[in-house]
Amino acid sequence: MHRFYNRNIKLSKNVASEIIDDIIRIKGKVLVFGLGFDSELWFNANGCKDVWFIEENIKYIDMNPNIPRENVIYHKFENIDLYKSSKLQDEDLEKYPLPKGIDKIIGNGFDIIIIDGPTGCFPTSPS
């Protein structure tokens, strides 16, 4: 298993390994919604290239000092929650701005997107 896998990661080793295999095989651009205990795993799986994170909680940014700040986009998911987002139509999405700074890295899009945040586990959580 990858040396950055640790006991705090809630994702099973098998699933994490499959995602890492895809990251290595594709050698593409990776976007991860959420920083956490698994962030170094994703960042280092791609040789620290083209791996970007979007995070809304400064606590999780601070707990990942080995992830360069230029690879982290801080974004508050304001005025949207799980309940509201479940009712959105495609045309409604235009009302919500993209995270500031993502336009600089989006280029031709991303090859792999990992969604590990925002919280989203309660009806009033950002989503």
CATH of 13-115, one of 2.40.420, 3.30.70, 3.90.120, 3.40.50: 3.40.50
Q: Which amino acid is at 121?
A: C
Tens of pLDDT, residues 56-81: 889 999 999 999 999 999 987 777 76
What would the DSSP string read from start to end of 38-80? THHHHHHHTTTSSEEEEES-HHHHHT-TTS-GGGEEE---TT-
Tens of pLDDT, residues 11-35: 888 888 888 888 888 888 899 988 9
% residues pLDDT > 70 (the chain): 88
Residue 120, pLDDT above cutoff 70: no
Task: Give me the residue spans of the domains in the chain.
Answer: 13-115
Hey, how many other C-beta atoms are within 10 angstroms of the C-beta on 75?
Answer: 18
Tens of pLDDT, residues 102-119: 777 787 788 888 887 556
Hey, how many other C-beta atoms are within 10 angstroms of the C-beta on 23?
Answer: 23
